[in-house]
Amino acid sequence: MYVKVFDKSPPPPKGKRGLSRTVLSSVRKHAKWLGLSNWTIYVKWKPVDGEYAMETDAKPEYYTAYVHVDLNELKPQFVDEYVRHELFHVRLWAYTATVEDLAHKKAFEHIRKAEESLVSDLERMPLWDELYAATRKGKNCEK
Ligand SMILES: [Zn+2]
């Protein structure tokens, strides 16, 4: 697995270096847990449209994803939650892209909303707290 800062990414804003390291660590940890070890995940520090702190683009045919992170919008306490959310979108990307190609526009919008709801549910599942607790106790869940 390769998790790296995208070559054309601007540097993290002043005072956000620690947060940028936390994001990279979180992406590595969750990519492994979500079975994305054969992917290259580029992280890019950049403003994100709207009120969001992260957005993702993926090319599943090349096992490559781009996670855009707005360090000025990202609250440190939500890093893991947001990273899980974006990486679940990566897992679902091939499915969603196929549906987008095959479904007419109105149907796709319903499916997109359903995916968003599913990803939000997955990101908040109680298993994450159990996994973090088990990891902290020394059970090696990162193998
Ligand atoms: Zn989403």
pLDDT of residue 140: 56
138 Cα–ligand 1 center, Å: 32
**Of the given ranges (9-18, 109-118, 130-139), which has the lowest mean pLDDT?**
130-139
| Euclidean distance between CA atoms 127 and 62, whole angstroms | 30
Q: Cα separations (Å) of 4 from 1, 11, 127? A: 10, 13, 27
113 Cα–ligand 1 center, Å: 9
pLDDT of residue 1: 67
Please determine, for residue 115, whether its predicted confidence score (pLDDT) is greater than 90: yes
53 Cα–ligand 1 center, Å: 11
99 Cα–ligand 1 center, Å: 16
pLDDT bracket for residue 139 (50, 70, 90): low
Domains of the chain and CATH, by start: 2-136 (3.30.2010)
139 Cα–ligand 1 center, Å: 30
pLDDT bracket for residue 24 (50, 70, 90): very high
42 Cα–ligand 1 center, Å: 18
Task: Answer whether 142's CB lies under 8 Å from 29's CB.
Answer: yes
Q: What is the pTM of this model?
A: 0.88
Please determine, for residue 118, whether its predicted confidence score (pLDDT) is greater than 70: yes
Query: Cα–chain-centroid distance for residue 2?
Result: 14
- What's the rounded mean pLDDT across residues 38-43? 95
Please determine, for residue 142, whether its predicted confidence score (pLDDT) is greater than 90: no
Please determine, for residue 3, whether its predicted confidence score (pLDDT) is greater than 90: no
Q: Cα separations (Å) of 7 from 17, 25, 66? A: 17, 18, 11
23 Cα–ligand 1 center, Å: 17
55 Cα–ligand 1 center, Å: 7
Please determine, for residue 143, whether its predicted confidence score (pLDDT) is greater than 70: no
69 Cα–ligand 1 center, Å: 13
pLDDT of residue 72: 93
